[in-house]
Structure 1
Amino acid sequence: MSSLIHEHIYSRLAALAEKNNYIHPDLYKQFNVKRGLRNENGTGVVVGLTSVGDVKGYELVNQIKVPTEGKLYYRGIDLKEFVLGFQSEQRRGFEECTYLLLFGKLPTKSELEEFNQILDEERELPGSFTENMILKIPSKDIMNKLQRSILVLYSQDINPDDTSISNVLKQCIQLIARFPTIISYGYQAKAHYFNKKSLFIHAPQRRIGTAENILYMIRPDNQYSRTEAETLDLSFVIHAEHGGGNNSAFATHVVSSSGTDTYSAISAAVGSLKGPKHGGANLRVREMIADIKANVPDTANKGQLKDYLWKILRKEAFNKEGLIYGMGHAIYTKSDPRAVLLKSKAYELAVEKDRVDEYHLYKDIEELSLELFRELRGEDFTICANVDLYSGFVYELLNIPPELYTPLFAAARISGWCAHRIEQLVCDNKIIRPAYANTSPHTVYSPLEDRSK
């Protein structure tokens, strides 16, 4: 059968599948279904309890959302306070953050040193894994490579299905330590085999931490500045956790509730994060910025920039979807604390890189977008820049290739995923099994020869 015939058949079958899987939107109201697990006022449907992270972006007054400044808490500690704490002591924060998420308390100095030592011992991949899993089977998509690598690590674990907390904790720490190595080597393999670049496989180093190891492993010369390391470390801290309701953390809870192994649960979370509606948003920001630069004669001219943003909102420019990427969030209203923290560090890095003008472009997009939305929706309308507006810019300043943007998100968020998995296993042994209302009428089975097209 030729490929053209195949295309014709698949096109016909796709039309049939679409037709017979369509459910009219009115039925969701009729059956009182909370689409996307969202209430009519935009709040999330409460489906569980967690002590890992908490996201605050509004207050409910008589079931009406009242905008507030955004807050993000890790184990009850305000993210801003946490960041200011380790930054004021000029320390890296991601490993301390991971300890806090996993164990529910801030580590002492000796506990943090011990934890760092454990991570250092686990960063290297098992023998022959790099050659057989990464170099011999390169992937154009690093998230795909990460997901496959996790499942292969299952086969190299002598006790993979043991869901005791001691064993799960060991598996989690190994994965947290190995994610940066897997994505760094996965990128090197992709760059070499698909982009014809030189291949560099640098062994992870001890005593430099997660962020510095990534910069060390993805760069040919292993070189990076202190500001670069601090910025990537901050990015990891603010992406490490975002409550139990975000799509990938919820996926971790759902899959873990079935009693399956750690590798399957974390692989499912990676698959969730890979989706452009979840982990790929900063790539959309990058694409939008490139489009703005190509179509606005003078991006420093706020009038020209605002006019083009208007066109984007009216679906006349960029991808015609009518969205200014990097603006707005499902929970945050007045501010996204992650964006506030990263924006400040982005300026510091932009000064070092002599790219302050570009920083101002992002800042102007944020400020002009706020003006546009108020003009469109009224002065009381509240919207804020989200973390994706500045994270893509930061990665660009760090000269990190775009194909690593979402994998870096995964390497940070795995700390939260593992905390949620442990919490699910400790607290709730009931399988998550929500209900779906069925809309199909009951019909009678007909013999093959009696069926019409």
Structure 2
Amino acid sequence: MALVRITSSKLPEAQKLNSVLASYVRFLSADSNLRQVLEAKIPKEQERVKNFRKQHGNTKVGETTIDMMYGGMRGIKGLVCETSVLDADEGIRFRGLSIPECQKVLPKAPNGAEPLPEGLFWLLLTGEVPTQQQVQGLSAEWAERAALPQHVVTMLNNMPSTLHPMSQLACAVTALNHDSKFAKAYSDGVHKSKYWEYVYEDSMDLIAKLPVVAATIYCNTYRGGKGSKSIDPNLDWSANFVKMLGYDNPEFTELMRLYLTIHSDHEGGNVSAHTVHLVGSALSDPYLSFAAGMNGLAGPLHGLANQEVLVWLMKLAQQVGKTPTEQELKDFIWKTLKAGQVVPGYGHAVLRKTDPRYTCQREFALKHLPNDELFQLVSKVYKVVPPILTELGKVQNPWPNVDAHSGVLLQYYGMKEMNYYTVLFGVSRALGVLASLVWDRALGLPIERPKSLSTDALMKAVQK
């Protein structure tokens, strides 16, 4: 395809327009775009699931105990999630690929070492590792879709800076529902076999706009409204996000690519993923579904945990110093536990070994900031805490999870606003939960409605 170049006496404007055209041509000339790949894949998967259910629909998988019902449905096998599966020993696998495998095979930015989140989104949706050209096309398409409606910009600019960034995010995403293609199509009576197409369009729009929303929140809350909200069509999704946040360190951009990739999905049972699936099962559009998931992510037992880890580390540093001896560290940890508190960043509902998301962040730190005092403190805690928790005998998993490390890395590169960290988590989590939502509608999954029982009814059932 030939590219017609524009000449003008207004050189900057001509250069900008040429840049946009070049990005669009790259997108059009890709082997196939993401929607075309899905259009070919979904009918085959629908037939495969239909035949599987026809043959094994009455087959029982697992058993439910009373403790599971009172214990937050922990361990109950009751959801379908196509995008990722969490193994107690291996950690997360995205469409069958571990985090180290994703780091190896997913496309990277020029001169970059970390995977591009665009590549992971393609993998989550299709089950296939994309080419470099396909990922570039997806970056260009998200850049084309990134502009915010004026009413959302006005709303964000009028929110008080004292409002928590996660509340601002949920409000803005909800307001984006004004332009939902799915909501309009449903109102117009679209056939249910087409639901996935409009959920896909909304999801692409939402993912494209999230960095602009999140950067606006950051600049308004912490920078007095100063900062660029413009998208560069020649940059990838993460690089544009970092630019709009006001950072220019290439290492921080690499960190953000890694961060946005590894926080994207964690199978379907965690609070944010399950909430998006649940609300979406009522045929709420992706904006409303995702906003609901973000309200769940804002909780201290979910996305807010990385902030709690950092607060605990700083308390540790204040009381025993940044370079404590091993015995001083042990004494502080035992003091924490005996006070009825937990060591934040350790333990996981499913994992029984060190979280691979922790490991890859540690490897990043060893490469880029090995001498940072806070990182070295995290490393010392890593050596001391698991044996103590094992000795305590009440913790099934004494190993660190993803939250034990991420805040330290963000602090190192100058992002010290801890209240904002969960927004970064939310931007990343969109990749996984929205990919799942597309497949929920493609497979025609119904409204979620599990049966609940009272304690009396359970007691009667046990007696019978």
Q: TM-score, normalised by structure 1?
A: 0.78
Q: Residue 93 of structure 1 aligns to which amino acid in structure 2?
A: L
Are residues 240 and 427 of structure 1, via their aligned partners in 2, closer, same or farther at CA, if it must alter by over 3 Å?
A: same
1:102–1:415 CA contact under 8 A, matched in 2:
no
Quote how far apart the aligned CAs of 1:75 are: 1.2
- 1:155 maps to 178
Q: Residue 412 of structure 1 aligns to which amino acid in structure 2?
A: S
Quote how far apart the aligned CAs of 1:364 are: 0.5
2:211–2:427 CA contact under 8 A, matched in 1:
yes
Quote how far apart the aligned CAs of 1:363 are: 0.6
2:115–2:261 CA contact under 8 A, matched in 1:
no
Quote how far apart the aligned CAs of 1:113 are: 2.1
1:329-348 aligned at under 5 Å gives the runs 329-348=348-367
1:52–1:243 CA contact under 8 A, matched in 2:
yes
- 1:234 maps to 258
Aligned counterparts of 2:360 and 2:210: Cα–Cα separation in 1: 24
Quote how far apart the aligned CAs of 1:374 are: 3.0
Are residues 290 and 133 of structure 1, via their aligned partners in 2, closer, same or farther at CA, if it must alter by over 3 Å?
A: same
- 1:211 maps to 238
Are residues 162 and 440 of structure 1, via their aligned partners in 2, closer, same or farther at CA, if it must alter by over 3 Å?
A: farther
1:24-173 aligned at under 5 Å gives the runs 33-38=69-74, 44-57=75-88, 68=89, 70-86=90-106, 90=113, 92-127=115-150, 129-130=152-153, 132-139=154-161, 140-157=163-180, 160-162=183-185, 164-173=195-204
Aligned counterparts of 1:187 and 1:340: Cα–Cα separation in 2: 28
- 1:271 maps to 295
1:262-341 aligned at under 5 Å gives the runs 262-297=286-321, 299-315=323-339, 321-341=340-360
2:143–2:237 CA contact under 8 A, matched in 1:
no
Matched residue SS, 2:366: helix
1:382-393 aligned at under 5 Å gives the runs 383-393=398-408
Q: Residue 33 of structure 1 aligns to which amino acid in structure 2?
A: M
Q: Residue 203 of structure 2 aligns to which amino acid in structure 1?
A: C
Bigger CA drift: 428-437 or 416-425? 428-437
Aligned counterparts of 2:269 and 2:202: Cα–Cα separation in 1: 23
Matched residue SS, 2:92: strand
Are residues 258 and 302 of structure 1, via their aligned partners in 2, closer, same or farther at CA, if it must alter by over 3 Å?
A: same
Aligned counterparts of 2:258 and 2:396: Cα–Cα separation in 1: 30
2:84–2:267 CA contact under 8 A, matched in 1:
yes
1:53–1:241 CA contact under 8 A, matched in 2:
yes
Aligned counterparts of 1:32 and 1:227: Cα–Cα separation in 2: 44
Q: Residue 155 of structure 2 aligns to which amino acid in structure 1?
A: M
Quote how far apart the aligned CAs of 1:271 are: 1.1
- 2:368 maps to 349
Are residues 92 and 286 of structure 1, via their aligned partners in 2, closer, same or farther at CA, if it must alter by over 3 Å?
A: same
Matched residue SS, 2:168: helix
Q: TM-score, normalised by structure 2?
A: 0.76
Aligned counterparts of 2:451 and 2:429: Cα–Cα separation in 1: 29
Quote how far apart the aligned CAs of 1:390 are: 0.5
Quote how far apart the aligned CAs of 1:412 are: 0.3
Confirm or deny that 1:256 pairs with 2:280. Answer: yes
1:181–1:214 CA contact under 8 A, matched in 2:
yes
Are residues 363 and 155 of structure 1, via their aligned partners in 2, closer, same or farther at CA, if it must alter by over 3 Å?
A: same
Matched residue SS, 2:159: coil
Residue 372 of structure 1, aligned match among 356, 378, 388 = 388
Aligned counterparts of 2:171 and 2:229: Cα–Cα separation in 1: 21
- 1:396 maps to 411
Q: Residue 77 of structure 1 aligns to which amino acid in structure 2?
A: L
2:273–2:433 CA contact under 8 A, matched in 1:
yes
Q: Residue 267 of structure 2 aligns to which amino acid in structure 1?
A: G
Q: Residue 84 of structure 1 aligns to which amino acid in structure 2?
A: K
Aligned counterparts of 1:89 and 1:361: Cα–Cα separation in 2: 28
Aligned counterparts of 1:188 and 1:297: Cα–Cα separation in 2: 33
Q: Residue 231 of structure 1 aligns to which amino acid in structure 2?
A: L
Quote how far apart the aligned CAs of 1:34 are: 4.1
2:322–2:373 CA contact under 8 A, matched in 1:
no
Q: Residue 168 of structure 2 aligns to which amino acid in structure 1?
A: K
Aligned counterparts of 1:298 and 1:425: Cα–Cα separation in 2: 51
Confirm or deny that 1:362 pairs with 2:378. Answer: yes
Q: Residue 411 of structure 2 aligns to which amino acid in structure 1?
A: E
Quote how far apart the aligned CAs of 1:91 are: 5.8
Aligned counterparts of 2:311 and 2:123: Cα–Cα separation in 1: 35
Aligned counterparts of 1:49 and 1:79: Cα–Cα separation in 2: 21
Matched residue SS, 1:374: helix
What are the Cα deviations for residues 32-74 of structure 1, in whole angstroms up to 9, with x where unaligned?
8343002xxxxx10112222101101xxxxxxxxxx3x33211
Residue 212 of structure 2, aligned match among 181, 197, 212 = 181
What are the Cα deviations for residues 225-249 of structure 1, in whole angstroms up to 9, with x where unaligned?
x222111111111101100111111
Aligned counterparts of 1:91 and 1:345: Cα–Cα separation in 2: 9
Aligned counterparts of 2:66 and 2:79: Cα–Cα separation in 1: 25
2:309–2:403 CA contact under 8 A, matched in 1:
yes
Residue 451 of structure 2, aligned match among 435, 445, 450 = 435
Aligned counterparts of 1:252 and 1:363: Cα–Cα separation in 2: 35
Matched residue SS, 1:233: helix
Quote how far apart the aligned CAs of 1:114 are: 1.6
Matched residue SS, 2:93: strand
Quote how far apart the aligned CAs of 1:122 are: 1.5
Q: Residue 223 of structure 1 aligns to which amino acid in structure 2?
A: D
1:55–1:242 CA contact under 8 A, matched in 2:
yes
Unaligned runs of 5+ residues in structure 1 are: 1-27, 39-43, 58-67, 316-320, 442-453
Q: Residue 440 of structure 2 aligns to which amino acid in structure 1?
A: Q
